[in-house]
Amino acid sequence: MVIDGRESNGKRAFLLICGLFAVVAPAWGLRFAFADFSFWNIIPWIIIGGAWMVGGAFIGGAVAGEGLHWTFQGGKARLERSSWFGVRIEELVAADVRDVTIDKVVWDSRPDTYRAVVVLKSGERLSTPDRTRASAEALAVEIKCRLGLA
């Protein structure tokens, strides 16, 4: 069984471009605020700072955000964590797992989704991609069976 939670390079590139735009556009448009510091220049600095925080989050997500690819075989789960910084590979066995649960993801603009979550004894939580409640519950049962927890 394979669960692919990786993001495409196209989506990462789109997030990077959006983040760079959010950083550069306000700074260029409000560049007069860099000329001198006065009381009235505080407002453009606040706008630029807010834009840089949003843009920085987009850039960070694009560059450092990890995708998780699960491969189950022989009572083990091989986890491949990939980002633009590289790939890390780990193996999980039943002894590493504390519990397998279901998390609800509440959305404003669409129906709620659910994730199967593997809770490790170290406290780390590994989530699968969003899906329906029935599908997430079936996946949780499948993960337990594949790791020999059920």
Q: Where are the alpha helices (DSSP H) in the chain?
A: 9-29, 42-64, 133-147
Give 100-124 pLDDT, tens digit per residue.
999 999 999 999 999 999 999 998 9
Predicted confidence at residue 106, as pLDDT, reads 93
The residue ranges of every structural domain in the chain are 7-64, 68-147
99 Cβ neighbours under 8 A, 6+ residues apart: 118, 119
Spatial separation of the C-alpha atoms in residues 58 and 15, rounded to whole Å: 6
Predicted confidence at residue 42, as pLDDT, reads 86
Higher pLDDT, 31 or 134: 134
Give 21-73 pLDDT, tens digit per residue.
999 999 899 888 777 777 878 888 899 999 999 999 999 999 888 888 889 88
Spatial separation of the C-alpha atoms in residues 35 and 7, rounded to whole Å: 41
Nearest to 91 by CA among 110, 78, 102, 75: 78
Nearest to 70 by CA among 44, 48, 97, 47: 97
Taking the model in full, what pTM does it have?
Answer: 0.69
